[in-house]
Structure 1
Amino acid sequence: MQRVKPGDTILVYVRQEKEDDTILPSAITGAYEVVSEPYEDHARLFTTPPHMGDEVFPFRMKVKPVAVFPEPLEFKPLIPDLTFITNKKMWSGHLRQAMREIPEEDYRLILRRAGEEATDA
């Protein structure tokens, strides 16, 4: 969180989930511009998923939408073309931290695949 600053752009990645008998693939759902300094707030924003205990996710930042994808962009088909993923077979290890900086070229590729145009934010 200390590396994030206003003006940065973040992508929202959602890991694979199972919903009833359907598996929802890992995906990117949109891009957002950070508009505040990171801050800590322990007020509960939403119901925490059962497997995460009583977590309140206190490290936060205010964001505004840059591109909210009409449909989530499935992540696995992107892997061969993403330069920040150097181990294509064990790719999930590249995403196991809360935030990961990626190259500009990967950001632009993701937006293009989602049908969005990258801006110089």
Structure 2
Amino acid sequence: ILPSAITGAYEVVAEPYIDHSRLFITPPQMGDEVFPYRMKVRPVAVFAEPLEFKPLIPDLTFITNKTMWSGHLRIAMREIPEEDYQLILKRAGVEA
């Protein structure tokens, strides 16, 4: 199992939409899920190396429960505060 990581920053360029077409084969434990909630994005920065997520948790303001942090990410789309976005870019070695 790979560690949780962030691989880049992306900007949403259109309103979210629903599309039930299959993008990839889902793992057997997920049933017939197609992940229909989608958005168009453009890359702002693709990190040279994945940025491990767990070391960021103490400093991210949108993660209010530092013990059960994964619950803050288990939604289709998550907006994060500007300060968290800037922190992620800084830790990835990317200038905003």
Please give the TM-score of this superposition, normalised by the length of structure 2: 0.86
5+ residue gaps, structure 2, are: none
2:85 to 107, 110, 121: 107
- Structure scoring higher RCO (CA < 8 A, sep ≥ 6) equals 2
Separation in structure 1 between the aligned mates of residue 69 and residue 37 of structure 2, nearest angstrom: 26
Q: Between Structure 1 and Structure 2, how many residues are aligned?
A: 96
Higher helix share: 2
Runs of 4+ in structure 1 displaced over 3 angstroms?
A: none
Separation in structure 2 between the aligned mates of residue 47 and residue 34 of structure 1, nearest angstrom: 24
Alignment of 1:53 with 2:31, yes or no, is yes
2:44 corresponds to: 66
Separation in structure 2 between the aligned mates of residue 79 and residue 94 of structure 1, nearest angstrom: 11
Separation in structure 1 between the aligned mates of residue 67 and residue 19 of structure 2, nearest angstrom: 37
Would you say the 8 A contact 2:12–2:40 is kept in 1?
yes
Please give the root-mean-square deviation of Cα atoms over the aligned residues, in Å.
Answer: 1.5
5+ residue gaps, structure 1, are: 1-17, 19-23
1:28 corresponds to: 6
